[in-house]
Amino acid sequence: MKSVLVLLLGTLTILYSCKSEEKNDKVNLQKMQNYTPPTISEQKEQSIQKQANIDSKVAAEIIAVVKENLAATQAKDKDRVLKTLHKDCPQRQSTIRGMDYIFKNYDMMYDLKKAEVIEINGDEAKVYYEQTTREAKGREFQPMLSKGIHILKKENGKWKIFKTEYLGNEPIM
């Protein structure tokens, strides 16, 4: 059962992470099943520095994309989720497979506790986030607090999530 929960957590992370996709899905699945992410407290303190003078109007547009991604995920609306992802997201197909599995098997609730634009550099932006993930019903999934940095890039003039730098998670009660 623990390996299913770890797989679920890994899959949820993929919904927000568009990292490089490995060629061998069997190897990738095996790694996900055996992976136990470090807790936030186990990690070295990371200094998140915010760029000065971030345009609040642009920041609001960027945060709206992050919020829409999370709302679409909670609504189990794959098309809406995909509209928030950049077309060059390197792990798009894995994300689709992950959504198919999660949406079919679980009813999850997500709460964005914090989202802050920390950098904008031309057509690329970084958003530090903290979010909780809980199962709406049932007790198979340990509620988690996750932290990370979404990297967004512009596509046809609109901000889209390109990938996520996952910083860690810890169980919550």
* Confidence (pLDDT) at 9: 41
Task: Check residues 62 and 39 and name the one with the higher pLDDT.
Answer: 62
CA nearest 92: which of 166, 6, 163? 163
Q: Which two tokens stand for residue 47?
A: 């200094």
Residue 16 reports pLDDT greater than 50: no
pLDDT per residue over 46-85, tens digit each? 578 899 999 999 999 999 999 999 999 999 999 999 999 9
Q: Are strands 144-155 and 158-171 parallel, antiparallel or unpaired?
A: antiparallel
**DSSP conformational letter for 88:** T
- What kind of architecture, by CATH, is found in domain 2-40+51-171? Roll (3.10)
Give the percent of the chain with pLDDT over 70: 73
Domain ranges of the chain: 2-40+51-171
Residue 147 reports pLDDT greater than 60: yes
Distances (CA, A) of 149 to 51, 86, 104, 137, 139: 14, 15, 27, 28, 28
Residue 14 reports pLDDT greater than 90: no
Residue 7 reports pLDDT greater than 70: no
Q: Which two tokens stand for residue 67?
A: 């919020």
Q: Name which of 12-16, 45-49, 107-111 the model is least confident about.
A: 12-16
* Confidence (pLDDT) at 46: 55
